[in-house]
């Protein structure tokens, strides 16, 4: 199930394999078979419900990390409000799925019906998140990285606060206020009849989303678009001077990342056996910070890194929840009331992140991947290369001389 | 109604001058290092706790003057120390490392963010998440006067420091060109440390004043006030000291005014909206001069 | 503290001894070798020029001498002291001032504040005021603009301010990086006359200049740098008549 087989492997092997189309169809069928198999075999494979949850949640987080990686890793921008996009996707998907489920009139969550509900929910979630991504990405036209970071945080907080502080009880006037009241304020949204969001996203959908996300991320990274983005990150002026429009690339990266986050949100909202209520508190800054940790731990710009980071962070979060169920841990907490395991986790993460930035700023993988990409052969319809990919060393010798002279002698 | 508005104006001024004290820390650091010191809000929170412990230890309500002044000074001292440590641990090592490496723009943002999360959760571990009541040292009207007067005298002192002293000249020189400043013999790491110390000391003063007014202290308090203060700094023009003061007052007054309307819960939504609006329309803020370069 | 004065200091008995010795200096950034073993020597009281094309390593040499760039191999010795372990902040205290390329004045500080910052190393007010008067005598234009912000000055005035600021530290040795760059020709002559006066008063000067004609006219000796190496050295007058130099740098 390696992404490279479908990603660029397909293109590089074109010369070797006599029928690349056949090969591609076979790989797609194999993957499809795998996720369908998982849908029905997951219960046998992973009998423990808590562990099932954990695996599904980890996969959603992989999608979150992969999408954030487009902005933070590839584009070299810095979003600290990614939870906002996930939240928008989750609310949108919950509303859409809830209403379609109601319209279907079948109380049971049928796998066959999920093919009606989920595509609609995913499309709506991705689409609405993409629109917000465009809105948030547009300021990158005129803002430096750190200012843009603040805009993303501001956006995510506005989204969360508007929903959380909405008046729900009593009479509310106006369409906007009514809509906000409908979303349930601090208590969250639990479907049109307030009996829970229908949980159509089983292993098929969540594994499927993760696999598709990995493939897209991989292809993006090694496409001409991905190379242009990397070149822009290293030296915007030089890249712009060879005809790459920085604005378009940056805004597009925001839209792509937001779409991915929206889809992850859709999965989160309708995850089987998950939380049937979408709540504003799921999408605080803490979640955005977790997403940043996933990307940076693994290595900004690395697809494998984002996967490893997403899985690792999810497991540690859940592990701490599990730990707190142990009697010995509860006894310890009774003795030391200030022992907040989650706070401890955050302290550790933050320290690791700081240490990593100082000692190994490129993360565990750097930009590398676990699977080496085969060297590309010249293919006639390969995407144009706007700039040769630059190595770190040759990135920008001028900048080392600092602001004193502006230009260095080489 | 008019009376209500007047009252809100007065409260807003007091709140605003306190926010301005915190905003100064953001603006000074940004002015010199072009770095958003996300950890500043948590230094503010730590300052509030330090003040709480200091005031309680020095007798609290039984000796309002000694406890108030002594506790505040203690908080300022240790917060200054903390601010310096934050810089030395999280930011200084990045400066000495070679430039030109990948993600040089992002790394300081990540460490700043990490420092902020670290301090906040450390406070949860050390002090628990509970809210603690601050000792009421003065009647509330007097507290507001104290806030207003001390905030303004501190700001005047700061203007003096920046424009009339050698250290101030060095800070301003550093903010333009750090290499040229080194050529003049300015020990840049020392000046940067002093900038962090000054900002943190002011944040601690703001924190104690804030708590005397709002009478509660808790580990996540830095997020709310820190955000408002940061927005104040940006609105005024980040890097610009009078701008931070103006921005602080504006945020304070706007905040109190919203409380008069039906949308009191939306105060922070309004703050963020104002921030985004300012960034989009005039990224340099109200008093900022130099244009912000794009990435 | 040095009590000798930049514009009045008479050549000492030690005149003629090497003040700055650069031995086999190599510097590289980002994998690119900018200097490949540069050796040069500046004796007390001399004006030495370093000429060469853009990118030959002239600015790199100066920045390495003042320790803004790390030394890969080789040695920089000033007044008998190895500078390898000296941080950039302490260079000015030893008596070396660099007037950086592009001037690098503090645009948001007034002219007076810029000059005062130049005297950061000795804040003895009396001595500072005296030096300030000397700088104003050297560049009367600065005197008229004391309260103006540095950024509002013209390019030539900024260059005067940058040189004045360097002189405020009362250096024994002044390093100048492209003082004529981007300056109105009328002011270039003024600036070089001022440099000559500073030298006359006993300050040793190492001058980097792309304008080869000017550099050879005002210097006693010169080094020709080519792609990170010393290609030629000798008397400025002799170099000005050298066929190769004429062809490469003086336009025939």
Q: Which of A234, A400, A404 sits opposite B98 (nearest CB)?
A: A400
Q: Does residue C28 belong to any structural domain of this protein?
A: no
Nearest-angstrom CA–CA distance, C226 and C210: 12
Residue C16's pLDDT is what? 66
Residue C168's domain spans which residues?
44-70+84-249
Three-state DSSP state, C130: helix
Neighbours of chain B (3+ CB pairs under 8 A): A, C
What are the residues of chain B with a beta carbon less than 8 Å away from any beta carbon of chain C? 100, 166, 169-170, 172-173, 175-177, 179-188
Q: Does residue C133 belong to any structural domain of this protein?
A: yes
The closest alpha carbon to C99, from C166, C144, C54, belongs to: C166
Residues of A in contact with C36 (CB under 8 A): none
Structure tokens at C55: 């990118």
Residue A403's pLDDT is what? 37
The closest alpha carbon to B196, from B281, B276, B55, B80, belongs to: B80
Q: Does residue C36 belong to any structural domain of this protein?
A: no
Interface contact B121-A347, CB threshold 8 A: yes
Give the pLDDT confidence of B7-26 residue by residue, as tens digits.
888 888 888 999 999 999 99
CB B138 within 8 A of CB B233: no
Instruction: Supply φ then ψ for residue A110, to 5 degrees.
Output: -95, 140
**Mean pLDDT on C109-123:** 89
C121 close contact with B: CB closer than 8 A: yes
- More confident: A318 or B9: B9
Domain range annotation of chain B: 24-94+104-219
**Mean pLDDT on A180-208:** 89
CATH at residue C133? 3.40.50.300
Q: Which of C30, C58, C102 sits opposite A409 (nearest CB)?
A: C58
Number of domains in chain C: 1
Q: Does residue C29 belong to any structural domain of this protein?
A: no
Q: Choose the mutation target among C27, C29, C99, C208 for the interface with A, i.e. most A CBs under 10 Å.
A: C29
Residue A1's pLDDT is what? 42
Residue B238's pLDDT is what? 84
Q: Which residues of A90-101 are buried (b: 16+ CB within 10 A; e: fewer)?
A: bbbbbbbbbbbb
Q: Where are the beta strands (DSSP E) in chain B?
A: 132-133, 216-217
Which element (helix H / strand E) includes B128? none
**Mean pLDDT on A126-140:** 90
- More confident: A80 or C7: A80
**Mean pLDDT on C221-236:** 92
Residue A400 has pLDDT above 60, yes or no: no
Residues of B in contact with A346 (CB under 8 A): 117-118, 120-121
Three-state DSSP state, C174: strand
Kindly indicate the confidence band of residue A75, based on its pLDDT and cuts at 50, 70 and 90.
Answer: confident
CB A177 within 8 A of CB A166: yes
**Mean pLDDT on C43-72:** 91
CB B223 within 8 A of CB B119: no
Kindly indicate the confidence band of residue A193, based on its pLDDT and cuts at 50, 70 and 90.
Answer: confident
Residue A339's pLDDT is what? 75
Task: Give the N- to C-terminal CA distance of chain C in Å, as an integer.
Answer: 48
CB A151 within 8 A of CB A136: yes
Give the pLDDT confidence of A266-301 residue by residue, as tens digits.
999 999 888 889 999 999 988 999 999 899 888 888
Burial classification of residue A60, based on how many CB atoms lie within 10 Å of its CB (0-12 exposed, 13-18 middle, 19 or more buried): buried
Residue C63's pLDDT is what? 93
**Mean pLDDT on A154-181:** 83
Q: What residue has token string 């993006």?
A: A220
Residue B104's pLDDT is what? 64
Pick from A20-24, A98-102, B55-59, C98-102: least confident: A20-24
Max avg pLDDT among A147-156, B39-48, B233-242? B39-48
Residue C15's pLDDT is what? 57
Q: What does each C-alpha distance from B154 to A191, A387, B247 come to in angstroms?
A: 54, 53, 16
Q: Which of B115, B122, B128 sits opposite A337 (nearest CB)?
A: B128
**Mean pLDDT on B245-259:** 89
**Mean pLDDT on C177-190:** 90
Residue B271 has pLDDT above 50, yes or no: yes
Residue A352's pLDDT is what? 87
pTM, to two decimals: 0.83
């Amino acid at each position: 199930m390696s992404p490279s087989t479908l990603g660029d492997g397909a293109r590089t092997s074109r010369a070797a394999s006599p029928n690349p189309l056949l090969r591609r169809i076979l790989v797609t069928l194999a993957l499809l078979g795998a996720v369908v198999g998982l849908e029905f075999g997951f219960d046998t494979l992973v009998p423990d419900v808590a562990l099932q949850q954990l695996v599904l949640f980890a996969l959603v987080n992989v999608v979150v990390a992969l999408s954030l990686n487009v902005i933070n890793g590839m584009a070299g921008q810095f979003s600290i409000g990614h939870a906002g996009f996930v939240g928008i996707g989750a609310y949108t998907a919950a509303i859409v799925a809830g209403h379609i489920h109601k319209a279907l009139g079948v109380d049971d969550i049928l796998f066959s019906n999920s093919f009606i509900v989920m595509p609609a929910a995913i499309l709506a979630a991705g689409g609405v998140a993409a629109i917000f991504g465009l809105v948030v990405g547009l300021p990158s036209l005129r803002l430096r990285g750190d200012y843009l970071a603040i805009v993303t945080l501001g956006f995510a907080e506005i989204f969360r606060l508007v929903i959380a502080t909405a008046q729900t009880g009593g009479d509310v006037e106006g369409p906007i206020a009514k809509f906000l009241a409908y979303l349930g304020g601090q208590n969250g949204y639990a479907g049109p009849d307030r009996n829970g969001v229908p949980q159509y996203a089983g292993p098929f959908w969540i594994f499927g989303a993760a696999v598709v996300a990995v493939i897209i991320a991989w292809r993006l990274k090694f496409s001409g678009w991905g190379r242009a983005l990397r070149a822009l990150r290293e030296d915007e002026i030089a890249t712009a001077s060879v005809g790459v429009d920085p604005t378009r690339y940056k805004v597009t990266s925001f839209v792509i990342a937001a779409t991915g986050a929206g889809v992850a949100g859709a999965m989160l909202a309708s995850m089987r056996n998950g939380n049937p209520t979408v709540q504003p508190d799921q999408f605080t800054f803490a979640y955005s910070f977790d997403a940043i940790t996933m990307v940076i731990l693994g290595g900004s710009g690395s697809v494998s890194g984002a996967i490893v980071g997403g899985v690792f962070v999810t497991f540690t979060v859940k592990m701490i929840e599990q730990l707190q169920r142990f009697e010995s841990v509860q006894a310890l907490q009774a003795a030391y009331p200030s022992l907040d395991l989650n706070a401890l986790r955050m302290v550790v993460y933050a320290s690791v992140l700081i240490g990593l930035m100082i000692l190994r700023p490129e993360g565990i993988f750097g930009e590398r991947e676990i699977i080496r990409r085969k060297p590309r052969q010249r293919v006639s319809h390969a995407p144009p290369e706007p700039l040769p990919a630059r190595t770190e060393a040759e990135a920008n010798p001028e900048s080392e001389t600092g602001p004193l002279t502006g230009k260095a002698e080489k | 109604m008019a009376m209500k508005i007047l009252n809100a104006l007065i409260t807003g001024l007091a709140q605003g001058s306190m926010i301005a004290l915190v905003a100064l820390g953001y603006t000074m650091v940004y002015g010199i290092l072009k770095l958003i010191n996300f950890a500043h809000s948590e230094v503010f929170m730590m300052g509030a706790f330090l003040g709480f412990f200091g005031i309680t230890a020095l007798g609290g309500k039984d000796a309002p003057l000694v406890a108030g002044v002594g506790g505040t000074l203690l908080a300022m001292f240790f917060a200054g120390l903390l601010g310096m440590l934050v810089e030395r641990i999280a930011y200084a090592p990045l400066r000495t490392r070679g430039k030109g490496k990948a993600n040089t723009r992002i790394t300081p943002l990540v460490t700043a963010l990490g420092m902020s999360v670290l301090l906040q959760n450390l406070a949860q571990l050390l002090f628990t998440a509970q809210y603690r009541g601050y000792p009421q040292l003065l009647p509330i009207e007097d507290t507001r006067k104290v806030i207003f007067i001390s905030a303004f005298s501190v700001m005047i002192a700061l203007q003096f420091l920046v424009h009339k002293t050698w250290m101030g000249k060095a800070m301003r020189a550093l903010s333009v060109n750090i290499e040229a400043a080194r050529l003049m013999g300015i020990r840049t790491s020392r000046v940067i440390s002093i900038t962090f110390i000054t900002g943190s000391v002011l944040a601690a003063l703001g924190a104690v004043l804030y708590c005397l007014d709002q009478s509660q202290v808790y580990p996540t308090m830095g997020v709310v006030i820190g955000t408002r203060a940061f927005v104040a700094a940006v609105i005024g023009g980040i890097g610009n000291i009078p701008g931070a003061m103006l921005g602080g007052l504006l945020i304070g007054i706007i905040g109190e005014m919203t409380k008069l309307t039906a949308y009191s819960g939306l105060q922070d939504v309004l703050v963020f909206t104002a921030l985004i609006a300012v960034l989009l329309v005039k990224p340099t803020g109200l008093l900022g001069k130099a244009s912000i370069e794009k990435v | 503290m040095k009590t000798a004065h930049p514009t009045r200091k008479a050549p000492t008995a030690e005149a003629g001894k090497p003040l700055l010795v650069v031995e086999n200096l190599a510097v590289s950034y980002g994998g690119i070798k900018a200097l490949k073993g540069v050796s040069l020597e500046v004796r007390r009281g001399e004006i030495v020029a370093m000429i060469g094309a853009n990118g030959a390593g002239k600015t790199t040499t100066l920045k390495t001498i003042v320790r803004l760039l790390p030394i890969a191999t080789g040695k920089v010795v000033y007044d008998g002291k190895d500078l390898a372990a000296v941080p950039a902040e302490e260079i000015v205290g030893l008596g070396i001032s660099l007037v950086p390329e592009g001037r690098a004045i503090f645009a948001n500080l007034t002219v007076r504040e810029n000059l005062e910052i130049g005297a950061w190393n000795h804040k003895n007010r009396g001595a500072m005021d005296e030096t300030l008067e000397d700088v104003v005598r050297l560049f009367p234009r600065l005197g008229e603009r004391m309260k103006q912000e540095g950024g509002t000055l013209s390019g030539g005035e900024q260059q005067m301010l940058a040189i004045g600021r360097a002189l405020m530290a009362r250096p024994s040795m002044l390093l100048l990086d492209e003082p004529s760059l981007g300056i109105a020709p009328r002011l270039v002559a003024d600036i070089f006359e001022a440099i000559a006066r500073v030298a006359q008063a006993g300050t040793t000067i190492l001058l980097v200049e792309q304008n080869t004609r000017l550099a050879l006219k005002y210097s006693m000796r010169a080094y020709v740098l080519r792609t990170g190496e010393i290609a030629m050295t000798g008397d400025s007058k002799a170099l000005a008549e050298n066929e190769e130099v004429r062809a490469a740098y003086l336009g025939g």
